[in-house]
């Protein structure tokens, strides 16, 4: 199509439109939501009737993909439907009571065994000599693969003949096909074979117990810890203090060997009071795990009742920083609720956070996260088991930098900038072959944080280029501990070790 | 009010008319919808005559002259969609789709109607009259389908893993892993363990394991994801089980971020990766032996998602700034090569593609390919001995619209396979694009394209001469709402293919509103 004037639409309005919609969705609003699934019933003569309500399929589920399959082998097609909202999978049994019959066919090809591309014609024994045609295919609908069984509804007719046009152009004629049966048709064989299912329950991976029960609050475990930026608080006596951040320590806790469980609360929030009472009751278990609970009041300087652990008033800066962190790490544009909690390890890295009133037993169980290495933590960050084909995506701290900058929190954003600049400087000098300068900047980056992986992997590379093989090996090893499975670093480490042996 | 990109595109083009007109009409439409909703449920009284029965469902239709609409008691659930507004001397006339249903002692009852609702404008907007343009009534002793998930998936981690919504998982999986909540995941059926019963493979978003559910006895599944070694945590969108290496067992092609991976079956139901093909943002896969060399080849659609800020389609109604789809020729042993240009599939190939499906639509013995594209025209690639030509325009199947899914099926049993394409039906789009002052400076072609864009799903009848006819309106199959993976299937075994349309984009928790309708 040639460029029409219609292509020159007001670019910024149009883009703003997209941004506005995406913002709306991220704020938890519906967009063409609550739309019911539709079903159109073929009346013959080219006409359909909307039978959505009588079908029992008219769920407002944000339906996506569907496949039909006779699951109960009763001769009519059941449906499997995937959805965006709960439940994300529905198994729908067809309970239409009709006197119509069917035949189900499975093809075994001589060229490609699945007979993909074969055209099947079922000829009915009726006056009109009706022919029902279907193709065996792989890939249809929306992101779906349909059943390997071809299902033909026969109304009340018999089958006079089945003709299969196989993918290599050969044609098979099959006369002995009776209604109400399932057949396997093998290319080259003269007869069809009635199929008997060999299904039997195997030694199973049956799930009897809930592995990861549905919980009423939000809980995010970070696959890679993220350094907490500085939080400003007003300690008792209205003394300004800070928590975390580059160059600061967990001063209020008075002990950098301890992890902190930061709880945001307010005296007007009933669930907060209940949650804090439960924490108080279990305080010994927190301390036993080297975790100090810290109550940060978001509205006043009031101390929680019976609270003997550290407490303070959260500044606006503190609330904003935590809010932006949770918005960024959930990709939701929804305000930080009260209560919310943040579990931060002794090194000042955010390990997990919780939105809403959280069960104390869940928190205490999550103290295990503090003892984990990064590989274990990655595993713990997903709700069920599983494997990665490539490698788990690494967190981009720039996403946080971007969010803070966008919200004009430049001081906090800077904590994510300086280290990045050092890394970029170092990389630039690597390109220029100025290895001593590259080494200097990687040193600074490793000291400054929070881009430790980039700093160590880059410095290892510079050391390797400079002939400091054992130094390179040490840095690569540190980098791999930070991001297990990184393929480039792994390969470099192997090369470095080989070099050392030589 | 958020103004949807399509409407912005429309408004931006309507330069000769003040925007106010369009906004006024939209305002009237919203008021009218609210008045109708407040008046409550609607039903039709008419001399209905049986038009169809399969022994379970009875469809009755009535001459509109005998039909009378009335607002009814709350036992009926009614939804009104306003799809057209025109000004009259005393007020406004609106075209309204009414869908009503109820359940009583006799079973399920459903009424569908097109209404002409006139409003007086003064002193305030009020209903003047409701006329029935056409109507039908369906009855069924019980719903055609029943949810048996709990039984069927009783040995599967259903309640905790498969059931919770993506809104839930968004609050439990770190965004740093890359979870997308738009749910571009399909479903695959294949008899992986060769027991005669199809198994289910569910590609899952990042952080949730892809899941293989083996059908161990008819209708009952067990989770074999771990045993099959297919429990991948990266985001997958689609998967095809095909014997790609012709060794007698099913192999697997599935999508991962940045690539398509091919897995070989060890013959005992465990899979291992053999090749990885670089290809970012692949949505659907379709497989066929396009060159009839005995090896099944693979076609991959790609999509840059405007809802994930990956791209802005330009222009909205005919965007060609997406990513190229690719044809991968099977060289044997699960090795594939990109032959997109070589076979002519590089024509008109920078679209936003959600779905593709092969079919020999011209019955000449090779596999042709239809590609549904969002934000613009679709492709019909005719295959002539392994070489493709995009004939969508001459075949009449460009279907300029928001293409989401492709389903082939011979709904009229004439031996030529017909085509059903999922799009989105937008009542707002319908109202606006049919305004007389809509895009007055645009070409007639563009106006029609914009109108088509909001017109819903398309049923294309294959005429058998290489062309198709759009029969969506006459067949009554266009109003499929915001449609996704529509399929043809014959639910009542009457030899006539019916259509199911999964529906809806984003419904959020604690939000009862429909959300703005694009």
pLDDT at B510: 59
Task: Note the pLDDT of residue B515.
Answer: 42
Q: Is A79 on the interface with B (CB under 8 A)?
A: yes
Give per-residue pLDDT as tens, A309-345. 999 999 999 999 999 999 999 999 999 999 999 999 9
3-state SS assignment for residue B55: coil
Indicate the pTM of the whole model: 0.91
pLDDT digits (tens, 9 = 90+) for A390-417: 877 777 788 999 999 999 999 999 999 9
Res. B441: pLDDT tops 70: no
Exposure of A501 in the CB half-sphere (CA atoms within 13 A): 6
Quick one: what percent of chain B has pLDDT higher than 90?
69
Give strand ranges (E) for A325-472.
340-344, 349-355
> What would the mean pLDDT of B138-150 be, rounded to a whole number?
96
Residue B388 pLDDT class (50, 70, 90 cuts): very high
Residue A33 Cα distances to A25, A61, A120, angstroms:
11, 9, 39
**Chain A: closest CA distance from residue B128 (Å):** 28
Task: Give the chain B residue nearest A73 (alpha carbons).
Answer: B218
Q: Are B235 and B224 in contact (CB under 8 A)?
A: no
Task: Give the mean model confidence (pLDDT) for residues B279-302.
Answer: 97
Nearest to B261 among A42, A91, A389 (CB): A389
Q: Are strands B126-140 and B107-120 parallel, antiparallel or unpaired?
A: antiparallel
Q: Is B293 exposed, middle or buried (0-12, 13-18, 19+ CB in 10 A)?
A: middle
Of the pLDDT bands very low, low, confident and very high (cuts 50, 70, 90), residue B15 is very low
> Which of A88, A288, A122 has the alpha carbon at shortest distance from A192?
A122
B contacts of A205 (beta carbons < 8 Å): 222-227
Q: Report the residue of chain A nearest B220, measured CA to CA.
A: A71
Say whether residue A487 is in contact with chain B using an 8 A CB cutoff: no
pLDDT at A484 over 70: yes
Closest CA in chain B for residue A19: B309
What does the angle CA A121 – CA A126 – CA A127 come to, to the nearest 5 degrees?
120
- Ramachandran region, residue B372 (left: φ > 0; alpha: ψ -120 to 50; beta: rest): beta
**pLDDT above 70 (res B476):** yes
Model confidence band, residue A252 (pLDDT cutoffs 50, 70, 90): very low
Q: Torsions phi, psi of A269, nearest 5?
A: -105, 110
Which has the closest alpha carbon to B84: B38, B111, B42, B119? B119
Q: How far is A322 from A337, CA to CA, in rounded Å? A: 11
Q: Could you tell me which CATH class the domain A218-385 is placed in?
A: alpha beta
CATH assignment of A417-501?
1.25.40.10
- CB-CB under 8 Å, A43 with B51: yes
Question: Does residue A20 sit at the B interface (CB-CB below 8 Å)?
Answer: yes
Residue A406 touches partner B, C-beta closer than 8 Å: no
- The residues in B 253-292 lying below 8 A from A, measured between CB atoms, are 256-259, 261, 273, 276, 283-289, 292
- Is the peptide bond preceding residue B187 cis, with omega within 30 degrees of 0? no
B479/A62 Cβ within 8 A: no
pLDDT the model gives residue B117 = 94
**Average pLDDT in the A466-470 region?**
95
Instruction: Using pLDDT thresholds of 50, 70 and 90, give the confidence band for residue B422.
Output: very high
**Coil, strand or helix: which one is B331?**
coil
B174 contacts A142? CB cut-off 8 A: no
Query: Where would I find the beta strands (DSSP E) of B376-478?
Result: 379-384, 387-390, 405-409, 418-422, 458-462, 468-470
The C-alpha atoms of residue B335 and residue A34 are separated, in whole angstroms, by: 44
Q: Where are the domains of chain A?
A: 40-210, 218-385, 417-501
Contacts with A111 from chain B: Cβ below 8 Å: 246, 289, 294
Q: Which residues contact B177 (CB under 8 A, 6 or more apart)?
A: A223, A381, A382, A392, A393, B206, B207
Contact B203, A386 (CB under 8 A): no
Residue A79 three-state SS: strand
Overall average pLDDT of the A94-101 stretch? 94
A457, A479 contact by CB (below 8 A): yes
B273: CB partners within 8 A, 6+ apart: A389, B261, B262, B263
ipTM: 0.93
A193 touches chain B (CB under 8 A): no
Query: What mean pLDDT value characterizes chain A?
Result: 89
Q: In what order do the strands lie in the sheet with B352-359?
A: B352-359, B368-374, B379-384, B387-390
Beta-carbon contacts of B398 under 8 Å, excluding residues fewer than 6 positions away, are B377, B378, B392
Tell me if residue B47 falls in helix, strand or coil: coil
Taking only residues 203 to 222 of chain B, the set having a beta carbon closer than 8 angstroms to any beta carbon of chain A reads 203, 206-210, 214-219, 222
Indicate which of B506, B510, B512 best probes the interface with A, i.e. most A CBs within 10 Å of its own CB.
Answer: B506
Q: Where residue A65 falls among pLDDT bands split at 50, 70, 90? A: very high
Question: pLDDT tens digits, residue range B235-260?
Answer: 999 999 999 999 999 999 999 999 99
pLDDT bin (cut points 50, 70, 90) of residue A254 is very low
Share of chain B above pLDDT 70, in %: 89
């Amino acid at each position: 199509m040639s460029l029409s004037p219609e292509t020159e639409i007001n670019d910024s309005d149009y883009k703003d439109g997209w941004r506005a919609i995406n913002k709306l969705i991220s704020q938890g609003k519906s967009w063409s939501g609550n739309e019911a699934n539709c079903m159109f019933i073929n009346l013959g003569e080219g006409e359909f009737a909307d039978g959505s309500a009588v079908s029992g399929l008219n769920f407002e589920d944000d339906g996506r993909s569907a496949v039909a399959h006779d699951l109960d082998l009763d001769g009519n097609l059941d449906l499997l439907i995937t959805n965006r909202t709960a439940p994300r999978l529905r198994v729908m049994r067809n309970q239409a009571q009709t006197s119509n019959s069917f035949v189900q066919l499975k093809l075994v090809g001589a060229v490609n065994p699945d007979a993909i591309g074969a055209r099947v014609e079922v000829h009915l024994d009726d006056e009109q000599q009706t022919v029902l045609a279907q193709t065996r295919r792989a890939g249809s609908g929306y992101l779906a693969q349909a059943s390997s069984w071809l299902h033909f509804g026969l109304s009340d007719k018999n089958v006079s003949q089945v003709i299969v046009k196989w993918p290599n152009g050969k044609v098979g004629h099959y006369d002995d096909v009776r209604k109400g049966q399932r057949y396997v048709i093998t290319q080259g064989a003269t007869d069809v074979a009635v199929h008997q299912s060999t299904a039997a329950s195997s030694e199973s991976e049956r799930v009897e117990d809930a592995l990861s029960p549905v919980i009423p609050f939000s809980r995010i475990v970070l696959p890679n810890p993220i350094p907490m930026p500085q939080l400003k608080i007003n300690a008792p006596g209205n003394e300004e203090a800070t928590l975390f951040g580059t160059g600061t320590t967990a001063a209020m806790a008075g002990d950098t060997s301890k992890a902190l469980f930061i709880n945001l609360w307010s005296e007007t929030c009933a669930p907060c009071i209940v949650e804090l009472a439960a924490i108080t009751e279990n305080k010994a278990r927190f301390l036993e795990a080297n975790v100090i609970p810290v109550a940060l009041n978001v509205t006043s300087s009031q101390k929680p009742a019976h609270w003997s652990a550290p407490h303070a008033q959260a500044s606006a800066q503190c609330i904003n920083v935590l809010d932006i962190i949770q918005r960024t790490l959930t990709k939701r544009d929804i305000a930080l609720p009260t209560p919310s909690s943040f579990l931060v390890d002794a090194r000042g890295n955010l390990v997990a956070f919780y939105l809403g009133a959280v069960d104390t037993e869940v928190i205490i169980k999550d103290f295990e996260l503090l003892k984990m290495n990064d590989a274990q933590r990655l595993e713990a960050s997903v709700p069920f088991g599983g494997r990665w084909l490539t490698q788990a995506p690494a967190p981009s701290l720039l996403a946080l930098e971007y969010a803070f900058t966008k919200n004009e929190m430049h001081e906090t954003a800077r904590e994510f900038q300086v280290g990045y600049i050092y890394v970029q400087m170092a990389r630039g000098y690597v390109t220029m072959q100025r290895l001593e300068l590259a080494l200097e900047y990687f040193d600074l980056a490793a000291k400054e944080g929070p881009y430790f992986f980039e700093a160590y992997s880059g410095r290892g590379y510079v050391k390797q280029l400079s002939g400091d093989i054992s130094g390179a090996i040490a840095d690569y090893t540190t980098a791999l501990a930070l991001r297990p499975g990184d393929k480039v670093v792994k390969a470099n480490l192997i090369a470095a070790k080989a070099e050392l042996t030589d | 009010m958020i103004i949807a990109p399509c409407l912005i595109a429309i408004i931006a083009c309507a330069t000769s008319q003040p925007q106010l007109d369009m906004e006024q009409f939209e305002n009237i439409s919203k008021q009218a919808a609210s008045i109708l909703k407040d008046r409550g449920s609607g039903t039709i009284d008419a001399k209905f005559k049986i038009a169809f029965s399969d022994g379970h469902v009875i469809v009755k239709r009535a001459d509109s002259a005998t039909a009378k609409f009335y607002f009814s008691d709350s036992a009926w659930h009614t939804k009104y969609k306003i799809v057209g507004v025109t000004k009259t001397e005393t007020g406004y006339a609106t075209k309204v789709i009414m869908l009503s249903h109820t359940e009583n002692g006799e079973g399920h009852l459903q009424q569908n109607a097109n209404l002409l609702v006139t409003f007086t404008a003064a002193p305030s907007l009020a209903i003047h009259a409701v006329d029935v343009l056409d109507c039908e009534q369906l009855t069924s002793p019980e719903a055609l389908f029943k949810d048996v998930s709990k039984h069927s998936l009783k040995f599967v981690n259903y309640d905790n893993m498969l059931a919770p919504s993506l809104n839930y998982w968004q609050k439990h999986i770190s965004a740093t892993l890359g979870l997308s909540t738009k749910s571009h995941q399909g479903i695959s059926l294949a008899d992986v363990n060769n027991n005669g019963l199809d198994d289910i493979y569910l590609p899952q978003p990042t952080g949730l394991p892809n899941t293989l559910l083996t059908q161990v006895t008819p209708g009952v599944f067990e989770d074999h994801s771990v045993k099959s070694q297919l429990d991948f945590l990266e985001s997958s969108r689609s998967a095809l089980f095909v014997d790609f290496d012709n060794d007698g067992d099913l192999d697997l092609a599935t999508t991962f971020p940045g690539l398509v991976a091919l897995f070989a079956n060890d013959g005992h139901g465990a899979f291992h990766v053999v090749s990885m093909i670089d290809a970012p943002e692949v949505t659907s896969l379709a497989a066929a032996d396009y060159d009839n060399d005995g090896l099944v080849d693979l076609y991959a659609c790609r999509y840059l998602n405007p809802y994930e800020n990956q791209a802005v389609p330009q222009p909205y109604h005919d965007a060609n700034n997406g990513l190229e789809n690719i044809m991968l020729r099977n060289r044997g042993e699960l090795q594939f090569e990109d032959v997109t240009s070589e076979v002519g599939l590089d024509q008109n190939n920078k679209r936003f593609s959600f779905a593709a499906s092969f079919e020999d639509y011209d019955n000449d013995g090779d596999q042709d390919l239809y590609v549904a594209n969002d934000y613009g025209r679709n492709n019909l690639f005719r295959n002539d001995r392994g070489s493709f030509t995009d004939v969508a325009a001459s075949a009449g199947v460009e279907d300029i619209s928001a293409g989401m899914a492709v389903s082939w099926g011979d709904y009229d049993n004439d031996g030529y396979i017909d085509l059903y394409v999922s799009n989105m039906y937008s009542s707002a789009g319908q109202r606006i694009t049919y305004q007389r002052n809509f895009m007055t400076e645009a070409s007639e072609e563009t106006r029609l394209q914009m109108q088509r864009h909001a017109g819903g799903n398309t049923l294309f009848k294959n005429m058998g001469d290489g062309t198709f006819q759009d029969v969506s309106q006459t067949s009554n199959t266009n109003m499929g709402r915001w449609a996704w993976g529509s399929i043809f299937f014959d639910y009542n075994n009457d030899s006539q293919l019916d259509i199911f349309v999964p529906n809806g984009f984003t419904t959020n928790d604690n939000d009862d509103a429909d959300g703005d309708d694009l």
